[in-house]
């Protein structure tokens, strides 16, 4: 899927192209003239522009000249749409280094084929753009003796990069630290992605990629290293988490399509700010679209300190959770204006969030040996009555244990405990390890035999 900007003063043509490209899986933005197109360009940072030649206010010729004058968009693919494409196309394309031109009226299949061609060639060009600098950097890595310290290797490589890209000099120490971390944890693959980003200067609105190439911790450390301000969107399946950065620290994370355990209401209840009954009553009678926390704050049901405490926990859990995602995509859009009010900001250090993420990933590996999925059903063991000592368990552990009845799945226990999947599964793992509970299905298979 690509972000495509369509600029044409004819509404019918814009709508037709939008329907066609939306159906093909692309995200389409519209503009009625060149001036509006420039505004949309800065707002949405498209990967391809389709532009008409004859338009009011600012025509296609003027628009392309304005775009090519912007350093960040000199290589952006632009395709000319015009009834006069045959007459103006060749000279127009050469002057502004456009990708192609198509005459109006056009066939749907022809436009789709052209868009696919341009996007494919752009992707190949982008992949090959990590030219001399990155290749030389990796030749340096291969030349380093196996026993050489990684920080020293990173220092050599970054010195070479900064010499060619002086604008990175102020961040030299942070770049060395980030490259060392990437080499230590992810080897050459993570380091290569980081170096490509450094060379291309992609630390603003054009930073995007696949999670199977560059994982969330590496993206976050790169943004922290560059002291970035803006929004990082991470998507996997139907879930999207948006993380707000200010000068390299995390201020807030919000999400859509995630399990209910990551919704703000759960944290308000868990922190004792609201009772579950009060929250359910409020949600039933809620009529406004405003964010839950802001609405409760306005009504005086919670204080700013209450909201900040709940949001800090919610943000931490969301950021830690997505560090486990192995599939999906990410986008970062640089901006000095962040959408939420000052009182809802957290200011969390990326290093702390990443370390917590690593810790939980390691613990999940152990937990998944006993809980391979959330459909597992546990039941009390025969030793439960003999070994059980309530004084040895916390109130939260007793709550989870009470929900183990041979009927509830792990998913149902997580929902009913209101403690979140990581905490609940960790408790179940401990209870199973000391043989207070057992996997019901495994127990039945053991009794019946093969």
Kindly report which listed range (5-14, 61-70, 185-194, 386-395) carries the lowest average pLDDT score: 185-194
Q: Strand 239-246 to strand 230-236: parallel, antiparallel, or no bridges (unpaired)?
A: antiparallel
- Is 26:2 a contact under the CB 8 Å cutoff? yes
Task: Determine the pLDDT at residue 143.
Answer: 52
CB 3 within 8 A of CB 40: no
The pLDDT-based confidence of 377 (bands split at 50, 70, 90) is very high
Distances (CA, A) of 2 to 6, 32, 46, 68, 237: 13, 20, 8, 20, 17
pLDDT surpassing 80 at residue 323: yes
pLDDT at residue 90, rounded to an integer: 55
CB 115 within 8 A of CB 46: no
Spatial distance between the Cα atoms of 218 and 209, rounded to a whole number of angstroms:
12
More confident: 392 or 37: 37
H or E segment and range at residue 65: helix 60-68
Least confident of 179-183, 217-221, 329-333: 179-183
| pLDDT tier for residue 336 given thresholds of 50, 70 and 90 | low
* Percent of the chain clearing pLDDT 90 (strictly above): 17
Confidence of residue 288 (pLDDT cuts 50, 70, 90): low
What are φ and ψ of residue 153, in 5° steps? Answer: -65, -45
Superfamily of domain 3-127 in CATH is: Response regulator (3.40.50.2300)
Task: List Cα–Cα distances, 110 to 47, 81, 426, in angstroms.
Answer: 19, 12, 56
Which tokens in the block code for residue 96? 């502004």
The CA–CA distances, whole Å, from 356 to 243, 309, 312, 349, 352 equal 16, 18, 14, 11, 6
- Quick one: pLDDT at residue 200? 47
Q: Are 22 and 50 in contact (CB under 8 A)?
A: no
Quickly count: other Cβ atoms within 10 Å of residue 70's Cβ: 12
Q: How far is CA 340 from the centre of its chain?
A: 18
- Answer yes or no: are the C-beta atoms of 419 and 400 closer than 8 Å: yes
Which comes out higher in pLDDT, residue 181 or 347?
A: 347
Cα separation, 210 vs 184, in Å, equals 21
DSSP state of 409: B
pTM passes above 0.85: no
d(CA 300, CA 269): 16
Q: What is the reported pLDDT for 366? A: 92
- Kindly state the average pLDDT of the residues 66-90: 70
Q: How far apart are CA 398 and CA 247, in angstroms?
A: 43
Angle at 39 between CA 113 and CA 61, to 5 degrees: 60
pLDDT at 316 over 50: yes
Q: What CATH number was assigned to the domain covering residues 371-448?
A: 1.10.10.10
């Amino acid at each position: 899927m690509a972000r495509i900007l369509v600029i044409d003063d004819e509404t019918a043509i814009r709508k037709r192209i939008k329907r066609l490209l939306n159906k093909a899986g692309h995200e389409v933005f519209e503009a009625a003239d060149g001036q509006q197109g420039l505004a949309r360009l800065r707002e949405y940072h498209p990967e391809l522009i389709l532009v008409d030649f004859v338009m009011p206010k600012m025509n296609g010729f003027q628009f392309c000249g304005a775009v090519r004058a912007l350093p960040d968009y000199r290589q952006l693919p632009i395709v000319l749409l015009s009834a006069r494409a045959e007459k103006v196309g060749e000279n127009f394309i050469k002057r502004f280094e456009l990708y192609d031109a198509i005459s109006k009226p056009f066939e749907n299949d022809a436009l789709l084929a052209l868009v696919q061609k341009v996007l494919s060639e752009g992707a190949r060009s982008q992949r090959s753009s990590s030219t001399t600098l990155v290749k030389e950097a990796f030749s340096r890595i291969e030349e380093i003796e196996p026993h050489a310290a990684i920080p020293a290797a990173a220092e050599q490589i970054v010195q070479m990069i900064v010499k060619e890209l002086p604008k990175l000099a102020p961040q030299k120490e942070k770049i060395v630290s980030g490259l060392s971390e990437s080499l230590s944890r992810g080897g050459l693959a993570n380091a290569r992605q980081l170096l490509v980003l450094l060379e291309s200067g992609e630390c603003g609105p054009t930073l995007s990629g696949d999670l199977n190439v560059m994982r969330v911790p590496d993206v976050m450390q790169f943004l922290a290293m560059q002291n970035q301000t803006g929004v990082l969107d991470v998507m996997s399946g139907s879930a999207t988490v948006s993380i707000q950065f200010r000068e390299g620290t995390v201020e807030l994370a919000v999400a859509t399509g995630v399990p209910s355990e990551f919704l703000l209401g759960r944290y308000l209840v868990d922190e004792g700010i609201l009772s579950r009954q009060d929250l359910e009553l409020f949600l039933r009678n809620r009529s406004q679209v405003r964010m839950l926390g802001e609405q409760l704050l306005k009504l005086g049901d919670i204080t700013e300190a209450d909201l900040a405490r709940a949001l800090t926990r919610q943000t931490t859990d969301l950021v830690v959770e997505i560090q486990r995602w192995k599939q999906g995509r990410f986008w970062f859009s640089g901006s000095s204006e962040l959408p939420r009010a000052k009182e809802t900001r957290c200011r969390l250090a990326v290093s702390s969030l990443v370390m917590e993420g690593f810790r939980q990933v390691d613990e999940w590996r152990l937990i998944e040996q006993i809980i391979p999925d959330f459909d597992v059903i546990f039941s009390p063991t025969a030793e439960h009555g003999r070994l059980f000592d309530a004084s040895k368990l916390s109130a939260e552990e007793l709550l989870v244990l009470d929900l183990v009845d041979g009927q509830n799945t792990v998913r149902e226990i997580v929902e009913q405990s209101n403690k979140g999947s990581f905490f609940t599964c960790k408790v179940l793992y401990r209870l199973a390890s000391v043989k207070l509970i057992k996997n019901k299905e495994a127990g039945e298979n053991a009794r019946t035999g093969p």
